[in-house]
Amino acid sequence: MTTLPPVDDLLAKAHVVSLPMRVRFRGVDTRDALLLEGPSGWGEFSPFVEYVDTEAARWLAAGIEAAYAVWPAPVRTAVPVNATVPAVGPERVPEVLARFDGCTTAKVKVAERGQTLEDDVDRVAAVRSAMGVGARIRVDANGGWDVTTATEALRRLTAYDLEYAEQPCATVEELVELRTALARNGIDVPIAADESIRKAEDPLRVARLGAADVVVVKVAPLGGVAAALEIVEACGLPAVVSSALDTSVGIAAGVALAAALPSLGHACGLGTVGLFERDVSATPWRPASGVLTTGRAVPDPAALVALAAPPEREQWWRDRLVRCHAVLADGRSR
């Protein structure tokens, strides 16, 4: 476990940035992040604004690990990456895919609020048409369907040869029920668990109850590279490492996790820097020939100035860091 630095040390070298998005994603048009500089390099603290402090504190632990500790040793130097297609209209799919150089796998957002299953089908069909029959396509519903809706949706979408469906339903129990319903109806779509891992008090429950075929892990929500690696090993299921809409600093941590996994049979969702108009790094961590390589991302001083959050947003994040630091300190004192 990384030693918890004094909060004043964190604040002294913290930078809060606001990155404009190319496409509205996960309900946001601008992505805020607090970046930490430490003896090991840079870390990122960017829990989504709706997360309570006890949940957000794990993101701070991950940022501190990156800035103050050493990541687990890699077993590979390059990690395959998937393209990410937000809930755009089918006409925008080629434009989005063009930002992901060499990627042969795409994750497509579905179950967007205010949209219909027809919108999802049209989007996935456009991705298949653009990428060809040899590409892998996975869909991500972020828990937006109930079991009945998910069964019908995956029945429709299986025509496009899905690699898997990520978090089609919200709860572990629903995922178990859905897998049973899919088998009963002859629908062959593997299930991946994301929120049921990263937002759960007991992330191993997914494996115990047989709720998924694949686990999706994200460094920040799980408290760091070392903690996420332990969870993957304990689950005993194939893993995909994904981004939490990170800057290049956070993406580097995701690549470190993917590089340390004993086996990696799926492309990882770490190509999301291309969704920003501008990144904090002068050389943004975007896939080249469909892969990302291991290393550390270093923010460009000019970008830190140009992308600096407004004063009220900066103070909000600094206050949040202080509260989350107190949560970590309290947990370690028990």
Q: Where are the beta strands (DSSP E) in 175-319?
A: 191-193, 214-217, 239-241, 291-293
Residue 53 marked ligand-binding: no
| Bridge-based pairing state of the strands 14-25 and 28-38 | antiparallel
61 within 8 A of 223, measured Cβ to Cβ: yes
The count of other CB atoms within 10 Å of the CB of residue 250 is 32
Residue owning tokens 């989350």:
324
Active site residue 218: yes
Question: How many alpha carbons lie under 13 Å from residue 292 in its C-beta half-sphere?
Answer: 34
Cα 244-258-225 angle, rounded to 5 deg:
65
Sheet with 191-193, side-by-side order of all strands: 83-85, 105-109, 136-140, 162-166, 191-193, 214-217, 239-241
Active site residue 199: no
Residue 166 marked ligand-binding: yes
- Rounded Cα distance between 267 and 70, Å, is 24
Residue 177 marked ligand-binding: no
- Which residues are known to be catalytic? 109, 218
Which residues participate in the annotated binding site for Mg(2+)? 140, 166, 194
